[in-house]
Amino acid sequence: MTPRFMRKHVLIFREKGLTRGLKAVGWPTAIGLFLFFLIKGMTLYIILPYMIAKGFFAG
């Protein structure tokens, strides 16, 4: 589910680890990746189940 434009940066972090990955891509990119996955996780695992439980999609 990772967007195409972010795959290269995610692969760098997987191959090099956190410290060397930060040096390779820079802090702004690392913060962007963190925020992207934080928002994606909150949407999929917190907000969406909450809306389903409250009957938001029931009409």
Mean pLDDT by 10 residues, the chain (59 residues): 86 90 88 91 91 84
* CA–CA dist 30, 13 (Å, integer): 9
CA atoms within 13 A on the CB side of 53: 6
Per-residue pLDDT at 15? 94
pTM of the prediction? 0.61
- 13's tokens: 């972090």
Per-residue pLDDT at 59? 67
- Backbone φ and ψ for 40, nearest 5 degrees, come out as -60, -45
Per-residue pLDDT at 35? 93
